[in-house]
Structure 1
Amino acid sequence: MPSSQRARVFVMAALLSLAALAGCSRSPPDSTPDGVVRLWLEKMETSTADPRAAREAYALLGPATRRNLEVRAERASRIQGRRFEPHEMLAEGRFGLKFRPKTMSVVGASGDEAKVDIVGADPAVERATVRCAREDGVWRIEPELPEVTDLPRWRDGG
Protein backbone atom coordinates (compact mmCIF):
# COMPACT_ATOMS: atom_id res chain seq x y z
CA MET A 1 0.00 0.00 0.00
CA PRO A 2 1.53 3.37 -1.02
CA SER A 3 2.36 5.78 1.79
CA SER A 4 -0.21 8.36 0.62
CA GLN A 5 -2.96 5.74 0.75
CA ARG A 6 -1.80 4.63 4.22
CA ALA A 7 -1.90 8.26 5.36
CA ARG A 8 -5.48 8.62 4.10
CA VAL A 9 -6.52 5.40 5.87
CA PHE A 10 -4.86 6.62 9.06
CA VAL A 11 -6.60 10.01 8.84
CA MET A 12 -9.97 8.35 8.20
CA ALA A 13 -9.47 5.99 11.16
CA ALA A 14 -8.53 8.92 13.39
CA LEU A 15 -11.60 10.91 12.30
CA LEU A 16 -13.88 7.92 12.88
CA SER A 17 -12.39 7.45 16.35
CA LEU A 18 -12.96 11.11 17.20
CA ALA A 19 -16.53 10.94 15.93
CA ALA A 20 -17.17 7.84 18.04
CA LEU A 21 -15.73 9.54 21.12
CA ALA A 22 -17.82 12.66 20.55
CA GLY A 23 -20.94 10.55 20.24
CA CYS A 24 -20.19 8.76 23.50
CA SER A 25 -19.55 11.85 25.58
CA ARG A 26 -21.99 12.40 28.42
CA SER A 27 -23.12 15.53 30.11
CA PRO A 28 -21.92 15.95 33.70
CA PRO A 29 -24.45 14.69 36.28
CA ASP A 30 -25.07 18.19 37.64
CA SER A 31 -26.19 19.44 34.23
CA THR A 32 -29.75 18.25 34.96
CA PRO A 33 -31.86 18.44 38.13
CA ASP A 34 -32.46 14.67 38.29
CA GLY A 35 -28.77 14.01 37.60
CA VAL A 36 -27.65 16.11 40.56
CA VAL A 37 -30.21 14.41 42.83
CA ARG A 38 -28.89 10.97 41.79
CA LEU A 39 -25.30 12.09 42.35
CA TRP A 40 -26.11 13.59 45.77
CA LEU A 41 -27.86 10.39 46.90
CA GLU A 42 -24.86 8.37 45.73
CA LYS A 43 -22.41 10.60 47.63
CA MET A 44 -24.51 10.51 50.80
CA GLU A 45 -24.75 6.72 50.70
CA THR A 46 -20.98 6.38 50.38
CA SER A 47 -20.18 9.08 52.96
CA THR A 48 -20.05 6.54 55.81
CA ALA A 49 -17.21 4.63 54.16
CA ASP A 50 -15.55 7.59 52.43
CA PRO A 51 -15.17 10.85 54.40
CA ARG A 52 -14.53 12.79 51.16
CA ALA A 53 -18.02 11.88 49.93
CA ALA A 54 -19.64 14.14 52.57
CA ARG A 55 -17.61 17.10 51.27
CA GLU A 56 -18.58 16.19 47.71
CA ALA A 57 -22.25 15.88 48.72
CA TYR A 58 -22.06 19.28 50.44
CA ALA A 59 -20.68 20.81 47.23
CA LEU A 60 -23.84 19.63 45.42
CA LEU A 61 -26.11 21.62 47.74
CA GLY A 62 -27.67 24.93 46.76
CA PRO A 63 -26.83 28.27 48.39
CA ALA A 64 -29.79 28.33 50.82
CA THR A 65 -28.98 24.84 52.12
CA ARG A 66 -25.26 25.59 52.39
CA ARG A 67 -26.05 28.74 54.40
CA ASN A 68 -28.32 26.75 56.72
CA LEU A 69 -25.53 24.22 57.36
CA GLU A 70 -22.97 27.01 57.85
CA VAL A 71 -25.12 28.51 60.61
CA ARG A 72 -25.51 25.07 62.20
CA ALA A 73 -21.74 24.51 62.06
CA GLU A 74 -21.09 27.88 63.71
CA ARG A 75 -23.56 27.03 66.48
CA ALA A 76 -22.12 23.55 67.02
CA SER A 77 -18.62 25.04 67.16
CA ARG A 78 -19.65 27.49 69.91
CA ILE A 79 -21.44 24.82 71.93
CA GLN A 80 -18.80 22.09 71.60
CA GLY A 81 -15.74 24.31 71.83
CA ARG A 82 -14.18 22.95 68.65
CA ARG A 83 -14.47 23.91 64.99
CA PHE A 84 -17.09 22.13 62.88
CA GLU A 85 -17.21 22.41 59.11
CA PRO A 86 -20.56 22.81 57.36
CA HIS A 87 -20.24 19.46 55.58
CA GLU A 88 -19.99 17.82 59.01
CA MET A 89 -23.58 18.89 59.65
CA LEU A 90 -24.68 16.28 57.13
CA ALA A 91 -25.50 13.52 59.60
CA GLU A 92 -22.55 11.17 59.15
CA GLY A 93 -23.61 7.56 59.34
CA ARG A 94 -27.22 8.56 59.90
CA PHE A 95 -28.22 9.06 56.31
CA GLY A 96 -30.59 6.43 55.03
CA LEU A 97 -33.12 6.38 52.29
CA LYS A 98 -36.72 5.85 53.33
CA PHE A 99 -37.12 3.98 50.06
CA ARG A 100 -35.09 3.02 47.02
CA PRO A 101 -35.77 5.38 44.10
CA LYS A 102 -37.20 3.55 41.13
CA THR A 103 -37.84 6.57 38.91
CA MET A 104 -36.95 10.24 38.95
CA SER A 105 -38.52 12.87 36.77
CA VAL A 106 -38.16 16.61 36.54
CA VAL A 107 -41.44 18.40 37.23
CA GLY A 108 -42.20 22.09 37.45
CA ALA A 109 -39.00 23.30 35.81
CA SER A 110 -38.99 27.05 35.37
CA GLY A 111 -35.82 29.00 34.63
CA ASP A 112 -33.26 28.33 37.33
CA GLU A 113 -35.58 26.29 39.55
CA ALA A 114 -36.96 22.78 39.21
CA LYS A 115 -38.42 19.99 41.27
CA VAL A 116 -37.49 16.34 40.95
CA ASP A 117 -40.22 13.83 41.71
CA ILE A 118 -38.76 10.60 43.12
CA VAL A 119 -40.90 7.46 43.18
CA GLY A 120 -40.14 4.11 44.74
CA ALA A 121 -41.59 0.64 44.21
CA ASP A 122 -44.91 1.61 45.86
CA PRO A 123 -45.90 4.99 44.39
CA ALA A 124 -48.72 5.40 46.91
CA VAL A 125 -46.31 5.72 49.84
CA GLU A 126 -42.82 5.88 48.35
CA ARG A 127 -42.69 9.35 46.89
CA ALA A 128 -40.62 12.47 47.52
CA THR A 129 -40.00 15.78 45.81
CA VAL A 130 -36.67 17.58 45.93
CA ARG A 131 -36.28 21.22 44.97
CA CYS A 132 -33.28 22.14 42.82
CA ALA A 133 -31.76 25.47 41.82
CA ARG A 134 -29.30 26.28 39.06
CA GLU A 135 -26.19 28.07 40.30
CA ASP A 136 -23.44 29.21 37.93
CA GLY A 137 -24.82 27.00 35.16
CA VAL A 138 -25.01 23.77 37.17
CA TRP A 139 -27.85 22.29 39.19
CA ARG A 140 -27.73 22.07 42.98
CA ILE A 141 -30.22 20.51 45.35
CA GLU A 142 -32.12 22.47 47.97
CA PRO A 143 -33.58 19.84 50.32
CA GLU A 144 -36.02 21.05 52.93
CA LEU A 145 -34.19 21.64 56.19
CA PRO A 146 -35.73 23.08 59.32
CA GLU A 147 -34.96 26.75 59.86
CA VAL A 148 -32.27 27.45 62.40
CA THR A 149 -33.90 28.92 65.50
CA ASP A 150 -32.30 30.88 68.30
CA LEU A 151 -31.09 28.87 71.24
CA PRO A 152 -33.02 29.41 74.48
CA ARG A 153 -31.31 31.75 76.91
CA TRP A 154 -30.97 30.60 80.46
CA ARG A 155 -31.78 33.08 83.16
CA ASP A 156 -30.15 33.17 86.51
CA GLY A 157 -32.81 32.20 89.08
CA GLY A 158 -31.63 34.79 91.61
Structure 2
Amino acid sequence: MRSPIVVALLSSVLLAACARELDDTTPEGAAALFVDALERGRDDRSALREAHELIDEESQRRLYERARSATALGAREYEPWEMLVEGRSRLRFTPRRGSGFRAREEGEGRAVVTVSGEEPSQRADLPMVLEDDGWRVVLDVPELRTAPE
Protein backbone atom coordinates (compact mmCIF):
# COMPACT_ATOMS: atom_id res chain seq x y z
CA MET A 1 0.00 0.00 0.00
CA ARG A 2 1.35 3.42 -0.97
CA SER A 3 1.33 6.24 1.51
CA PRO A 4 -0.83 9.31 0.70
CA ILE A 5 2.33 11.42 0.53
CA VAL A 6 3.87 9.19 -2.15
CA VAL A 7 0.62 9.18 -4.16
CA ALA A 8 0.37 12.98 -3.91
CA LEU A 9 4.00 13.37 -4.96
CA LEU A 10 3.56 11.04 -7.95
CA SER A 11 0.40 12.90 -8.98
CA SER A 12 2.22 16.23 -8.80
CA VAL A 13 5.08 14.93 -10.93
CA LEU A 14 2.67 13.54 -13.54
CA LEU A 15 0.66 16.77 -13.65
CA ALA A 16 3.83 18.83 -14.04
CA ALA A 17 5.00 16.58 -16.88
CA CYS A 18 1.64 16.95 -18.63
CA ALA A 19 1.70 20.73 -18.17
CA ARG A 20 5.13 20.95 -19.81
CA GLU A 21 3.82 19.08 -22.84
CA LEU A 22 0.99 21.53 -23.49
CA ASP A 23 1.41 23.55 -26.64
CA ASP A 24 -0.75 25.19 -29.27
CA THR A 25 -0.51 22.35 -31.81
CA THR A 26 -3.85 21.00 -30.55
CA PRO A 27 -7.06 22.89 -29.74
CA GLU A 28 -7.07 21.45 -26.21
CA GLY A 29 -3.47 22.52 -25.59
CA ALA A 30 -4.01 26.06 -26.84
CA ALA A 31 -7.22 26.40 -24.80
CA ALA A 32 -5.50 25.12 -21.64
CA LEU A 33 -2.57 27.51 -22.13
CA PHE A 34 -5.00 30.40 -22.67
CA VAL A 35 -7.01 29.62 -19.53
CA ASP A 36 -3.81 29.19 -17.51
CA ALA A 37 -2.42 32.54 -18.72
CA LEU A 38 -5.68 34.30 -17.83
CA GLU A 39 -5.64 32.76 -14.36
CA ARG A 40 -2.04 33.84 -13.80
CA GLY A 41 -2.99 37.28 -15.14
CA ARG A 42 -4.93 37.97 -11.95
CA ASP A 43 -1.62 38.28 -10.06
CA ASP A 44 0.85 38.75 -12.92
CA ARG A 45 -0.37 41.25 -15.49
CA SER A 46 2.39 40.17 -17.92
CA ALA A 47 0.64 36.79 -18.26
CA LEU A 48 -2.18 38.62 -20.08
CA ARG A 49 0.27 39.20 -22.91
CA GLU A 50 0.70 35.41 -23.17
CA ALA A 51 -3.09 35.02 -23.29
CA HIS A 52 -3.27 37.70 -25.98
CA GLU A 53 -0.82 35.74 -28.13
CA LEU A 54 -3.14 32.72 -27.95
CA ILE A 55 -6.14 34.47 -29.49
CA ASP A 56 -6.90 34.67 -33.19
CA GLU A 57 -5.76 37.53 -35.44
CA GLU A 58 -9.23 39.07 -35.77
CA SER A 59 -9.74 39.17 -31.99
CA GLN A 60 -6.26 40.67 -31.60
CA ARG A 61 -7.13 43.36 -34.16
CA ARG A 62 -10.31 44.28 -32.32
CA LEU A 63 -8.51 44.43 -28.96
CA TYR A 64 -5.88 46.66 -30.58
CA GLU A 65 -8.65 49.04 -31.74
CA ARG A 66 -10.11 49.10 -28.23
CA ALA A 67 -6.69 49.83 -26.72
CA ARG A 68 -6.17 52.72 -29.17
CA SER A 69 -9.58 54.10 -28.30
CA ALA A 70 -8.97 53.79 -24.53
CA THR A 71 -5.58 55.48 -24.94
CA ALA A 72 -7.19 58.38 -26.82
CA LEU A 73 -9.73 58.85 -24.01
CA GLY A 74 -7.44 58.23 -21.04
CA ALA A 75 -4.38 59.59 -19.37
CA ARG A 76 -2.12 56.69 -20.29
CA GLU A 77 -1.32 54.29 -23.10
CA TYR A 78 -3.11 50.94 -23.06
CA GLU A 79 -1.84 47.71 -24.58
CA PRO A 80 -4.20 45.34 -26.43
CA TRP A 81 -3.81 42.58 -23.81
CA GLU A 82 -5.02 44.99 -21.15
CA MET A 83 -8.38 44.90 -22.92
CA LEU A 84 -8.93 41.28 -21.84
CA VAL A 85 -11.76 42.04 -19.45
CA GLU A 86 -11.91 39.84 -16.37
CA GLY A 87 -15.63 39.09 -16.45
CA ARG A 88 -15.78 38.40 -20.18
CA SER A 89 -12.51 36.56 -20.79
CA ARG A 90 -12.03 34.38 -17.73
CA LEU A 91 -13.79 31.24 -16.65
CA ARG A 92 -15.85 31.43 -13.51
CA PHE A 93 -14.72 27.98 -12.42
CA THR A 94 -11.57 25.87 -12.24
CA PRO A 95 -11.26 23.32 -15.06
CA ARG A 96 -11.35 19.67 -14.00
CA ARG A 97 -7.89 18.12 -13.93
CA GLY A 98 -7.15 15.63 -16.67
CA SER A 99 -10.34 15.62 -18.69
CA GLY A 100 -11.35 19.27 -18.29
CA PHE A 101 -10.60 20.15 -21.94
CA ARG A 102 -12.25 18.23 -24.80
CA ALA A 103 -12.23 19.31 -28.44
CA ARG A 104 -14.60 18.56 -31.27
CA GLU A 105 -13.95 19.52 -34.87
CA GLU A 106 -16.28 22.05 -36.46
CA GLY A 107 -14.93 21.90 -39.99
CA GLU A 108 -11.51 22.31 -41.49
CA GLY A 109 -9.32 24.44 -39.26
CA ARG A 110 -12.09 25.03 -36.73
CA ALA A 111 -12.88 23.37 -33.42
CA VAL A 112 -14.71 23.97 -30.17
CA VAL A 113 -13.07 23.09 -26.88
CA THR A 114 -15.48 22.34 -24.06
CA VAL A 115 -13.97 23.22 -20.72
CA SER A 116 -15.56 21.41 -17.78
CA GLY A 117 -15.30 21.97 -14.06
CA GLU A 118 -16.03 19.60 -11.19
CA GLU A 119 -19.77 20.41 -11.17
CA PRO A 120 -21.97 19.38 -14.13
CA SER A 121 -23.15 22.98 -14.54
CA GLN A 122 -19.55 24.22 -14.92
CA ARG A 123 -19.03 24.20 -18.68
CA ALA A 124 -17.80 26.69 -21.23
CA ASP A 125 -17.22 26.36 -24.96
CA LEU A 126 -14.18 28.04 -26.50
CA PRO A 127 -14.29 28.40 -30.29
CA MET A 128 -10.89 27.75 -31.83
CA VAL A 129 -9.31 28.38 -35.23
CA LEU A 130 -6.12 27.00 -36.75
CA GLU A 131 -3.83 29.81 -37.92
CA ASP A 132 -0.32 29.67 -39.35
CA ASP A 133 1.26 29.78 -35.89
CA GLY A 134 -1.04 27.23 -34.18
CA TRP A 135 -4.50 26.90 -32.68
CA ARG A 136 -5.99 30.14 -31.38
CA VAL A 137 -8.99 31.03 -29.21
CA VAL A 138 -11.67 33.07 -30.98
CA LEU A 139 -13.04 35.72 -28.63
CA ASP A 140 -16.38 37.45 -29.04
CA VAL A 141 -15.03 41.00 -29.28
CA PRO A 142 -17.66 43.26 -30.85
CA GLU A 143 -16.56 45.86 -33.39
CA LEU A 144 -16.12 49.31 -31.90
CA ARG A 145 -18.98 51.60 -32.81
CA THR A 146 -17.99 54.92 -34.23
CA ALA A 147 -20.03 58.08 -33.76
CA PRO A 148 -22.01 59.14 -36.82
CA GLU A 149 -20.33 61.94 -38.75
Determine if the TM-score, normalized by the shorter chain, exceeds 0.5: yes
In the aligned structure 2, how far is the partner of 1:126 from the partner of 1:93?
15
Counterparts of 1:8-47 in structure 2, within 5 Å, are 29-47=23-41
Write the deviation string for residues 101-158 of structure 1: whole angstroms up to 9, x where unpaired. Answer: 22211113422111111222232x22111111111141111122333223588xxxxx
Which residue pairs with 1:120 in the alignment?
117
Any idea what the Cα deviations from partners look like across 1:19-68, whole Å, max 9, x if unmatched?
A: xxxxx9x7651010111110011111111322321111111111111011
- 2:109 corresponds to 1:149: no
CA distance in structure 2 between the aligned counterparts of 1:63 and 1:56, rounded to whole angstroms: 14
Distance of 2:86 and 2:117 partners within structure 1: 24
Q: How many residues align?
A: 129
Of 85, 92, 99, the match for 1:91: 85
The answer to whether the 8 Å contact 2:91/2:124 transfers is: no
Identity of aligned pairs, percent? 34
Q: 2: CA distance between counterparts of 1:137 and 1:109?
A: 19
Partner of 1:75: 69
Partner residue, 2:134: 138
Kindly indicate whether the alpha-carbon contact (under 8 Å) linking 2:127 and 2:138 is maintained by their aligned counterparts in 1: yes
Unaligned runs of 5+ in 1: 1-23, 154-158
Q: 1:137 and 1:56, CA in 2 relative to 1: closer, same or farther beyond 3 A? A: closer
Which has the higher Rg, Structure 1 or Structure 2? 1
User: Do the aligned residues in 2 keep the contact of 1:45 with 1:95 (CA within 8 Å)?
Assistant: no
Q: Where does structure 2 lack aligned partners over 5 or more consecutive residues?
A: 1-16
Name 1:107's counterpart in structure 2: 104
1:91, distance to aligned residue in structure 2 (A):
3.1
Q: Is the 8 A contact 1:47 1:93 kept in 2?
A: no
